[in-house]
A and B are shown apart, each in its own frame.
Chain A
Amino acid sequence: MAKAFKYGLKGITGFLEPAERELLRSLIGDVISMLQPAENSSKDPLAALIGLDMDVQEPTDRAVRRLLPNVMKDDDGASLEFRQLTERSLRETKIGALRAAALDLDKDDVVLTADGARHWSMALNDVRLVLAERLDIRDEEDAEHVHLMQDWSQAEDVESYLALVYNFTTWLQESLVQAMLQSLDSRA
């Protein structure tokens, strides 16, 4: 079993079993592939260099839309314009955090710096957002319902398996964030 993250002299440390690391690695890989920008977009090298992408459209996949939301609630036109200016670099920020977290999975003991912990928390959050879309978690009640699923021997279909994975990543992120909050306290 994984051990909860702790804040101590060495920074933020945690422990994951090989199977848990493998699971996280594949979840992270899935989210990275969802975030990878389409190859054919933005052929203009100068535009690509400054992160501009005039071919960008609002994502059709719900989970991707949750990862890359509109910047204005009631103005799709302005949101799209903003998306063309910023979405590419936002995708890169997210992929960067996900890749950094995946690299830390190569060892049993996870030892994180402040930056490393931030990347991990962002990566776990994005993984959870995607799982939540797949599990159709729309409100607190749905979340409670999924939360009840804790016993791996009950995992008999894709949905219950996803629910267990969601709960595992939730527990892991919560323990990480508690350690990060402690490290903020001790710096203040």
Chain B
Amino acid sequence: MSLSVAPGPVTREGTRTGTEASIDSLTAPDIPWNLVIWNDPVNLMSYVSYVFQSYFGYSESKANKLMMEVHKKGRSIVAHGSKEQVERHAVAMHGFGLWATVEKATGGTGGNSGKSGGSGQGKGKRG
């Protein structure tokens, strides 16, 4: 959703050097990555919820909602951030034995896009 190529604040003056420009394009700070948890028939629902609560510090209701999404839809985006951040989360999830992958948040594909963080609990909210 945030693949905009608008240069943003750097245009305020015409004195930008070539070096700065290339750093800007290298870091691409506005392209987030997603941490995806996949369903599998082995991991206990209680355990998955426990991991979401204890590792991410999510509330019981948020952890359970994400866990049910994994269970029913087959996958859920449970966190996003920079590539390094979500990779670190993925290794931690593998440590717990959850099946986790990282992916670039492109929006549009899959059940939920990169918008599901924060207050987003509009769709799929069922007991």
Chain A contacts to B: CB under 8 angstroms: 66-73, 82, 86, 89-90, 93-94, 97, 118, 121-122, 125-126, 128-129, 132, 137-140, 142-143, 170, 173-174, 177-178, 180-181, 184-185
Contact = CB atoms under 8 A, between A and B. Distances in A.
A77 to B, nearest CB: 14
B79 to A, nearest CB: 14
Nearest to A131: B42
B44 A67 contact: no
B24 interface: no
Contacts of A128: 42
9 contacts: A71-B91, A118-B54, A125-B97, A137-B41, A137-B42, A140-B41, A173-B47, A180-B50, A180-B54
Nearest to B96: A122
B46 A174 contact: yes
Contacts of A71: 87, 90-91, 94, 100-102
Nearest to B94: A90
Contacts of B60: 185
Contacts of A177: 44, 46-47, 50
Interface of B: 36, 41-44, 46-47, 49-50, 53-54, 60, 87, 90-91, 94-97, 99-103
A129 B44 CA distance: 11
B95 A93 contact: yes
A121 B95 CA distance: 11
Given A72-B101, A82-B87, A125-B43, 14 more contacts: A71-B100, A89-B91, A90-B95, A118-B54, A126-B97, A129-B97, A137-B41, A173-B47, A177-B46, A180-B50, A181-B46, A181-B50, A184-B50, A184-B54
A174 B49 CA distance: 12
A132 B49 CA distance: 20
A69 B43 CA distance: 15
A82 to B, nearest CB: 7
A75 B41 CA distance: 24
A145 B48 CA distance: 22
Contacts of B100: 69, 71
Contact of A129 (B42, B53, B54, B87): B42
A118 B43 CA distance: 15
Nearest to A175: B46
A142 B42 CA distance: 10
